Copies of this chain bind each other. A is one copy, B any other.
Amino acid sequence: MTLRISELSERTGVPVATIKYYLREGLLAPGEQTAPNQARYGQDHVHRLRLVRTLRDVGGLGIQAIHQVVEALDDEQRSMHQVLGAAHRALAPRDAGTPQPDATRSVDTLLEDLGWQVSADAPARAELARALASLRDLGRDVDAQVFRRHAETLDALAAFEVDSVTQTASRTHAVEALVIGTVVFERALVALRRLAHEHHSSQRAGPTPGP
């Protein structure tokens, strides 16, 4: 497959000006130069454009964060585990501040209890600690059992997902799948959880008439 930039745009739904911007920013590899002012693009470009758009539209990532992810993906020296770490750092909120020490300790204890081996500087540690601290400040301390049950389900599913990914042949495909799994699948889960809540709320409380 060889495509002109206009055809690449049609196939992916990404405007030509945006494709040119991604080329300048290094999010997309240059096409094959066929004339001084013309280049041809292939299947890899279609795929990469879809990935960039997904990170942006579904993951809500900015250009700089997408750059970090794409750079890690393209660096063959980095293991799948390292690329996952890069994706997690790109997804972490920028200026969220340091969580309270006791919330940090709660997370440490939970991870120890679960037997999860997670690096000390994983941004999700701080994110979890901040969320737990917020819940406590608001007088809504998390029921440890409920949380534990969530953790165990996620544990089993993460094992399944990571296993199915590591069985694919190519490194690029595997790491990309893991990044997509992180960014897109967690949006899907959040949406699914909201739907479950709406269902149970409608069952229990029942909608009242009115606007």
Contacts and interface: CB of A to CB of B under 8 A. Distances in A.
Interface in A180-207: 180-182, 184-207
Contacts of A81: 198, 201-202, 205-208
Interface centre among A119, A135, A157, A191 (most CB of B within 10 A): A191
A73 interface: no
A134 interface: yes
Nearest to A209: B79
Contact of A199 (B118, B176, B210): B118
Q: Count identical subunits in the complex.
A: 2
Interface in A111-137: 111, 116-119, 122, 124-125, 127-128, 130-132, 134-135, 137
A26 B195 CA distance: 30
Nearest to A196: B158
Contacts of A203: 117, 162
12 contacts: A50-B137, A57-B96, A88-B198, A116-B198, A119-B198, A124-B191, A131-B185, A140-B184, A142-B185, A151-B196, A158-B196, A163-B204
